[in-house]
Amino acid sequence: GVALFPDDGEDAGTLLRHADMAMYAAKREGRNNFQFFSPAMNAATHEHLLLENRMWSALSAEGFELHLQAQVALDTGRVIGAEVLLRWHDSELGAVEPSRFIPVAEESGMIVPLGDWVLARTMALLAEWQREGLDHLRLAVNLSARQFSGGSLIERLDELVAHYGIDPAQLELEITESAAMRDPENTRQLLRQLRTRGFKLAIDDFGTGYSSLAYLKLFAIDRIKIDRGFVKDIEHNPNDAVIVAATIGLAHSLGLTVVAEGVETQAQWGFLRDKRGD
Ligand code: MG
Ligand code: MG
């Protein structure tokens, strides 16, 4: 991290602080590189601290809520479950977009208590549905890379399942392709343990990271989720259409089911239904 006198600061303390910020920016880019300080880093750090502070109070003040995004079976048109999405309406900041707060939560480690809150709330909801006879519906929860590799995930899930008395098969855990590929061997073992417990497992945002088809075969997963980025222009963009069709074919040959994200039009629905195969 590099900060230069006098543009980036006129005293040692300021220069060191700014060099430090530049160093963190360099680390985010990976190892073996350097970054010069820029005023934008200062603004980003300020925003980061503000959001982190507000998130802590929102967590204790019930500022977060869960929204459900329905998952529908193509052949019957029936809702078979939903993905649980975290939404934040802050008492001071108003509605904060996930694209703004999730990266800050990831970076600060806040994502761990936040993710835990989501898991507990989701299981509570599943328990409620079970009592109401809605146990054919499953809920999918997004796991962050930190939760996934943190070492205490299995223990925590066991605890929550026992506490809420739910059937693990009703809970689908989604892990993104890039998180799964960070440490493939660890992922493989963890997925196996989760599978043994009966949880459903899905690879999220498929096609957006470094997909390793070899690992796809080794991972004990049930489902692939095609990223909405491919679904959006499926009718107009031949590349997207080919990628989606190939992914569906690949998944089915591996014995996996597929969820397409962000289906919003009849034409998208029709395309997916035609490509569904058997
Ligand atoms: Mg997801
Ligand atoms: Mg997704």
Q: Can you tell me the distance from the alpha carbon of 72 to that of 82, in angstroms, rounded to the nearest whole number?
A: 8
Find the 228 Cα to ligand 2 centroid distance in Å. 7
| Residues surrounding ion ligand 2 at CB below 5 Å | 204-205
Which ligand sits nearest to residue 261's alpha carbon? 2
Find the 141 Cα to ligand 1 centroid distance in Å. 7
- Whole-number pLDDT of residue 215: 82
pLDDT band at 277 (very low <50, low <70, confident <90, very high): low
Cα-based angle 216, 217, 223 (whole degrees, multiple of 5): 60
**Structure pTM?**
0.86
Find the 258 Cα to ligand 2 centroid distance in Å. 12
pLDDT in tens, 21-62: 999 888 877 778 899 999 988 888 888 899 999 999 999 888
Find the 102 Cα to ligand 2 centroid distance in Å. 13
Which ligand sits nearest to residue 143's alpha carbon? 1
Find the 174 Cα to ligand 2 centroid distance in Å. 8
Find the 16 Cα to ligand 2 centroid distance in Å. 39
Neighbours of 176 (CB within 10 A): 22
Burial of 3 (0-12, 13-18, 19+ CB in 10 A): buried
